[in-house]
Each structure stands twice: as C-alpha cells, then as structure tokens.
Amino acid sequence: MHFTSLTHKKSFLTLILLLLVSALSSCTPRTVRDPLTKSGFYFDTIITITVYNTTDESLLDGCFAIADTYEQLFSATIPDSEISQINQSDGRPVTVSSDTLSLLQTGLKYCELSKGGFDISIGKLSSLWNFTEENSSLPDADAIHKAVSTVDYRNILISGNEVTLKNPDTAIDLGAIAKGYIADQMKEYLNEHGVTEGTINLGGNVLCIGPKSDGSNYRIGIQMPFEEQGAIAAVVEVKDQTVVSSGVYERYMTVNDKLYHHILNPKTGYPYENGLLGVSIICPKSQDGDGLSTACFSLGLEDGMKLIESLSDTEAIFITEDYEFHCSSGIGDTIPFEKGLAVNTVF
C-alpha cells in the first residue's frame, strides 16, 4: 500500500502530528486512569493506540485486528485484496464489501471536490515513483505520460456493490485516504466498548476520542517542515476531533538538486509545485481529514482555503514555502491555536 512510512530513511517525517499528552504515572495494580497503549506496523507505518478509562487490554488487540482486516481489503499490493481484484479485473465488474464501497465513495467525493486534483485512480502513476531508495531516480518520462492517460476517477463506476473500471488500464490507490477511514472504525469500536478517552495515531493521522476526563482538550503539535521530529511549529487544541496533515517532506527524493515529493499531480504525472509545504486539517472524522488534506494541497492556497471555508466543522492550516501560516477563519476562534517559536527559524 502506498502509505506514508515512519521509517523512511531520507525524510525527517515532517508534519507528523505529535501528541502532547502527558503520561500519567503508572500504578500497581493497574487502574482505569493508567493509560493502555500498543504500537504496531501496518500500511508501511507505525500505528499507536492509547486508551484510558479501561483496564481491558483486549480492546487494543481488537483495534489491531481491525487494522489487519482493512489492510487485507484496501492494499493495492496484496494480490487478493478487493482493490487488487478491481485493478486486475480487466474491466469486469467486481463485487466488494460495504467497507471497500464506503471508502471508494468517500474517495470519489474528494475527487469531485478537488476537480480531479486528488484522484484515487492514480495507481499506475504512483507505482512508478519510488521514494524509499537511498539513490532513487526519476521514472521514465514516457512511462509517466502513459500512466497519466489511465488516471481519471470518472473511470470508476459503482452500481450497488459492484465496481467496474471503465478503462481496464486504470488502477486504484487508496493510500491517501485509507488510514483515516481505519482510524474512524477503530474509534467507533472503542466507543462501543465504553472507551471515552484516548488517541489513535496512524502514521500521523491523529484522532482524539472525546475530551480528557477532566474536560480539557488534547494538545496536538504540528511539526515544522524539514525539521527533525520534535520541532513543533504550532499547536492546536482539540477534543473528539482529528488532525491530519499532508506535506511535501513526508516522502521525497532529491535529483540534480531538485526536490521531488510524493504528492503527485494526476494531470502532469509529477509532484505539485504550487508554493505549499503542507496542509493540516482539523475536523470530526479522520477519513475527511485525510481526503481534505490532499485535496486542499492539490488546489493550492487560494482555492483550498475557499473549499475549507465552505465546509462546516472543518478548519485548516496551510504552510507556504516562505514558512508563513495561513489559517481558516475558525482557527483562533473556535480552536485555540499557538504558533511556536520555530516558525521564525531560518532554513
């Protein structure tokens, strides 16, 4: 699956959202106020679940079972996943589960909102780019041109639970939106089992469960672009919301002194060059944060901000190449926002 990796050798994992949640001192025996936490590696990234107000460690295992189930459904690199079945169908209808159907419909929604700037049919193109090698090289220009011709979300046709690719050469890649969907399903599972306080971190997609037990907000730090993990550029306070970022420095390579990042323009086949370093979204659902962070990045500052201002319960922070912050109208009003001193660092 083409998900952002927390172990990428060339990136400092910028715009990873750091949880600024103080750990409570441990006690023996365990009480409901001691945090339960578990980490694992799925979707090419580290995921961490932390819950309070429970002593049932099996709930963490349940979250990881959810991660495993959805990886088997959504991964474009697992040969028998439902997405792989669609990509290999040669244009024939494929019956999929309600979960895959729901994620596809959400993806297509953001394809429309971004006017195709965000496109889940980018699989052939994204597979050409390799940002994990130490000495990565650019894909062949002719191969990029050929792959671009297969990208068009309107080639994805849905009828009931059947999915058909109008162009048999089109390939779906849900890497830009699947983690958010999975985080939302984990939260629903935990809520159903009585968990009302905790955090779900899927490779930087941070979803907060409720407010803290004392009623206070969670403090989520947005990392400074191109700085080592831990350099905080800004802090937002949220409760029962998600904070999701997309940035040019999450995965990238440098060829002939030029930086090439992983957010690809489906119309050109090459990374976007629109003056943005990153976009962070604050909203109730992580799948929406996932879709909007990439969609808004693709639209650029002006059009991306217009989209955010048209949506309810949604705020955004855009960081431009001059390291300036551009915040939607609700930031600093409904959401406490604090710029860190690192904003003024000269790079």
In percent, how much of the chain has pLDDT > 70? Answer: 87
Average pLDDT along the chain? 86
H helix intervals, 200-272:
none
Chain segment 106-149, per-residue pLDDT in tens = 999 999 999 999 999 999 999 999 887 677 789 999 999 999 99
State which H helix or E strand residue 292 sits in. helix 286-309
Rounded-to-integer distance, Cα 344 and Cα 233, Å:
9
Chain segment 59-83, per-residue pLDDT in tens = 999 999 999 999 999 999 999 999 9
Under the banding of pLDDT at 50, 70 and 90, the label for residue 242 is very high
The residue among 99, 246, 74 whose CA lies nearest residue 174 is: 74
How high is the pLDDT of residue 10? 31
Rounded-to-integer distance, Cα 319 and Cα 325, Å:
5
Q: Are 124 and 93 in contact (CB under 8 A)?
A: no
- Give the list of residues 6+ apart from residue 87 with CB closer than 8 angstroms, or none: 76, 123, 165, 170, 171, 172
Chain segment 260-318, per-residue pLDDT in tens = 999 999 999 999 999 999 999 999 999 999 999 999 999 999 999 999 999 999 999 99
Dihedral of alpha carbons 132, 136, 141, 143, sign: negative
Rounded-to-integer distance, Cα 174 and Cα 172, Å:
6
Structure token digits, residue 141: 């220009």
Q: Are 261 and 248 in contact (CB under 8 A)?
A: yes
Q: Are 184 and 287 in contact (CB under 8 A)?
A: yes
Q: Please give the backbone phi and psi of residue 253, each rounded to the nearest 5 degrees, phi first.
A: -145, 160
Rounded-to-integer distance, Cα 206 and Cα 242, Å:
6
Q: How far apart are the first and last CA of the chain?
A: 33
Rounded-to-integer distance, Cα 162 and Cα 147, Å:
25
Q: Are 264 and 148 in contact (CB under 8 A)?
A: no
How high is the pLDDT of residue 342? 35
Rounded-to-integer distance, Cα 313 and Cα 309, Å:
10
Q: Are 299 and 250 in contact (CB under 8 A)?
A: no
Q: DSSP code of 343?
A: G
Counting every residue written for the chain, the total comes to 347
State which H helix or E strand residue 337 sits in. strand 337-339
How high is the pLDDT of residue 11? 32
Cα torsion 60, 184, 39, 228 to 10°: value is -160
Give how far Cα 17 sits from Cα of 9, 92, 181, 236, 292, Å.
19, 41, 17, 10, 16
